[in-house]
Amino acid sequence: MTTAIPDLWPESLKPVVLSPVAILRTQAARLKERTNGLLEAEIQTKRITEPNGDTKALHVFEIVAPAMDGYRFQVLSIEHPSPGAYPVDISSFFLPTRVFVAMSGGRNIPSEKLPNTQRCANQDAFQEALKKVFSSQELSGILDSLIAQILDKDIDADSNKSSE
């Protein structure tokens, strides 16, 4: 009698894994598409060498409003080993709030002044964290406000042309 040996690997193990920066680039392209180019996103990347010699990649995701003289604001940053992709730490003011007070140079810093950070072990966890950031009410309000301001500028420009 033979005994079947079960597959013990987790369901999350996939033959194709996207890097965090590839996922961010895709979301940047989708933002531009969804807003008809009114808003764009840019990703700035830096390599950081720590005192122990380890290297990390830091990627900063910023939303840009080209029609507002290139106004930009940071939505999130991620950090991961380099070379490597996961785990990735995502930091954003738009992640759900955790209540804590940090100490800095002997001073208390209110938690609302610090971005929340979440460690994501794999691609699925990272995409879930991004979804929380991108669907936050606070970020949605900022994006709606930017789009309204851009459209107001377009209406003002059109009305000035018609009055000439």
1 belongs to a structural domain:
no
For residue range 19-43, what is the model confidence (pLDDT) as tens digits? 999 999 999 999 999 999 999 999 9
Q: Is 80 helix (H, G, I), strand (E, B) or coil?
A: strand
Does any domain span residue 46? Answer: yes
Are 98 and 107 contacting, i.e. CB atoms less than 8 angstroms apart?
A: no
- Answer yes or no: is pLDDT of 100 > 50: no
**Cα three-residue angle 148-74-49, rounded to 5 degrees:** 165
Residue in this structure with the two tokens 């991620």, named with its chain if needed: 78
- pLDDT tens digit sequence for 120-161: 999 999 999 999 999 999 999 999 999 999 999 766 665 556
| Phi then psi dihedrals of residue 99, to 5 deg | -90, 120
Say how far apart CA 53 and CA 127 lie, in whole Å.
29
**Is position 77 within any domain?**
yes
125-132, long-range: CB within 8 Å, 24+ apart, which pairs?
126/20, 126/23, 126/78, 126/86, 126/88, 126/90, 127/23, 129/90, 129/95, 130/23, 130/24, 130/27, 130/76, 130/90, 132/94, 132/95, 132/96
Domain that holds residue 59: 20-154
Domain count, the chain: 1
Domain membership flag for residue 48: yes
pTM of whole model > 0.85? no
Is 5 contained in some domain?
A: no
Please report whether residue 142 resides in a domain.
yes
For residue 84, is it within any domain? yes
